[in-house]
Amino acid sequence: MVFNSHKADNYDSWYNTKKGNIVDEIETKTAFELFQPSTKEKILDVGCGTGNFSIKLAGKGCRVTGVDVAEPMLEKARLKASARGFDILFYRQDIIDLKFEDDFFDGVISMAAVEFVPDIKRAYQEMKRVVKPGGKILIGTINRDSTWGELYREQSRSETSVFHHAILRIPEELEKIDRPNLVATQECLFIPPDAPEDEISWEEEKRFAGRVRGGFFCILWKIKQ
């Protein structure tokens, strides 16, 4: 298991740093601009981890279900959701073998999870299977062709790094999975990963935008009726 109890306990510490907090805000803004979650929508968060994005979706009024293969992560997600008063369902399930009926959700979202899924096509087909006609799928993942991708590839050389197991991709690899239903691709996280923490800001993100490849990208599909 990639994310054991020790990693689950430390997973959220990244978000408590200034850099981690702004990176999270940037990725969330990009995802929500594309996905546009609406109140009462039934949304599946695939690879939900400790519930970071599940909680954000619930905050938008969505009816959220989160799935992950790592039970220690799910245990933390349940505690966090309960502490915030959100009724989110969390289940231990594999992205390539979802235990839901066909056409069950209004939308599926997966943020920073497919890096750990070797068979991305099979994973996408499972997400597509459980989405209603007219529903939407969004995948957000690290961009291999970026300075952030270079950083994580360097980290992957260490057997103790979580990225030792990661598979980084470029937007074109995901876009071709289902071009007929493809709506949009958007890159973000243009700030270089080696930027000093006191220089991490939205202003710097805007300054680097368009000058370099984004370290993260989101792709949206809408399933035709």
% residues pLDDT > 90 (the chain): 84
In the numeric block, the tokens 């929508």 are attached to 41
216: pLDDT confidence band, cut at 50, 70 and 90? very high
Q: What is the largest CA-CA distance in the chain?
A: 48
Give the tens place of pLDDT for each residue, 50-65.
999 999 999 999 999 9
For position 182, which CATH number holds? 3.40.50.150
Q: Are 178 and 128 in contact (CB under 8 A)?
A: yes
- 3-state SS string over 130-163? CEEEEEEEEEEEEECCCHHHHHHHHHCCCCCCHH
Angle (nearest 5°) at CA 218 between 145 and 177: 80
Full residue range of the structural domain in which residue 77 is found: 5-222
Judge whether residue 30 has pLDDT over 70: yes
pLDDT at 220 over 80: yes
Smallest Cα–Cα separation from 67: which of 101, 84, 43? Answer: 43
Over residues 106-145, the pLDDT tens digits come to 999 999 999 999 999 999 999 999 999 999 999 999 999 9
How much is the mean pLDDT over the chain?
94
* Residue among 137, 135, 133 nearest 111 (CA): 137
pLDDT at position 86: 98
Determine phi and psi for 101, rounding to 5 degrees.
-70, 160
Q: What average pLDDT does the segment 5-30 reach?
A: 84
Q: How many domains does the chain divide into?
A: 1
Is the confidence at residue 3, as pLDDT, over 60?
Answer: no
> Is the CB of residue 201 less than 8 Å from the CB of residue 144?
no
| pLDDT recorded at residue 1 | 44
**Above pLDDT 70, what percent of the chain?**
96
